[in-house]
Amino acid sequence: AEDVKYSWQRACDPATGSQTAATYLGDIVGVSEVLAGETREISGVRVIEDYTLEVTIDAPKSYFLSKLTYPTSFVVDGTNVASGWEWWHSPNGTGPFKLKQWEENSLLVLERNELYHGELAKVDSVAFQLWGGVPMNMYETGEIDVTGVSMVYIDKVTDESGPFYQDLTTVPELSFYYIGFDTTKPPFDDVNLRRAFSQAIDKDKLVSLVYRDMMQTADGILPPGMPGYNEDLAGLDFDVTKAKELIANSKYGDVSNLPPITITTAGWGGLISSGLEA
């Protein structure tokens, strides 16, 4: 328990310079004062006994425990940290694996932690080839055992008669993509315009043609596999006729009366994503 409190206080120490401590630990009473440099101790964290910790948060929040799964709250060994600035090259962790070898931008090797408190890992070690080459090519030649699949290779791995189909496993990505409206500025300060734009986009066709069925339509902000995901949630259907009616019922009356609309997106050299382009 002392290690947990030490780790969270270290994460919130201004000297650590964490950019995420406020987001993931800020619900705990006293964290804001530590982040501000007013004190070194988080008042809302109290050690009861060796393996018991009492945490007081500023309000009831059902998602608080889920936030503690983010690395900001991970426990570090105070003695390990005190050994020197590069302690993290030889970290003393409590997970199922421990660091065996690290070659920056080249190789990361983890070995099984024989002292792990839970069920021991089934493999002796795991090697991550960093920037080792084209992942699918390396998988095909047997250089690596696991890789993600990009859209470029989707036809190859979904071909039931091909060599990769039997190896393919599909899992949720735990993320979602969306276009957000600035509701404080015209024209999206009008709810009818927001609904109209939403109903004018054929998400099913985007998923099928642009994303090659590697994604699924989103009716809410939580993806499948995320706590709180509701598969029965229904979003706005694709309906061009309804979208036109909503525009007509808006304060603008017609698309010709809409002010210029600026879309801000990530891109390279003026290129935009295929989804946004579509």
Residue at which a domain ends, from 41, 62, 89? 89
Kindly report whether the peptide bond that precedes residue 187 is cis, defined as omega within 30 degrees of 0. Answer: yes
CB neighbour list of residue 110: distance below 8 Å, 6 or more residues apart: 97, 98, 99, 100, 125, 126, 127, 128
What average pLDDT does the segment 143-165 reach?
Answer: 92
Residues 7 and 78 in one domain: yes
Residue-wise pLDDT for 94-145, tens only, equals: 899 999 999 989 999 999 999 999 999 999 999 999 988 899 999 999 999 9
CA dihedral of 206, 152, 105, 88, whole degrees rounded to 10: 40
Contact between residue 225 and residue 174 where contact means Cβ atoms under 8 Å apart: yes
Residues 66 and 101 in one domain: no
pLDDT at 93: 86
Q: Name the pairing type of β-strands 45-49 and 97-103.
A: unpaired
Contact between residue 5 and residue 45 where contact means Cβ atoms under 8 Å apart: yes
Residues 11 and 34 in one domain: yes
Residue at which a domain ends, from 89, 109, 132? 89
Report which of residues 172 and 249 the model is more confident about: 249
Residue 249 belongs to a domain? yes
Give the number of residues written for the chain: 278
Residues 85 and 8 in one domain: yes
Residue at which a domain ends, from 69, 89, 109? 89
3-class DSSP assignment, residue 166:
helix
Residue 34 belongs to a domain? yes
CATH of the domain at 216: 3.10.105.10
Alpha helices, H only, the chain: 2-12, 21-25, 31-35, 64-67, 78-82, 135-140, 154-158, 191-199, 203-205, 240-249, 274-277
Residue 132 belongs to a domain? yes
Reported as a pLDDT band with limits 50, 70 and 90, residue 270 is: low
Report d(CA 93, CA 8) in Å as an integer. Answer: 15
Residues 69 and 114 in one domain: no
pTM of the model: 0.69
Using a pLDDT cut of 70, give the percent of the chain over it.
98
Residues 243 and 263 in one domain: yes
* Lowest-pLDDT range of 113-127, 177-191, 205-219: 205-219
Burial 64-75 (b: 16+ CB within 10 A, else e): beeebeeebbee
Residue 33 belongs to a domain? yes
Report d(CA 213, CA 151) in Å as an integer. Answer: 10
Residues 82 and 121 in one domain: no
Residues 198 and 229 in one domain: yes
Residue 219: domain span? 191-277
- Our count of domains for the chain comes to 3
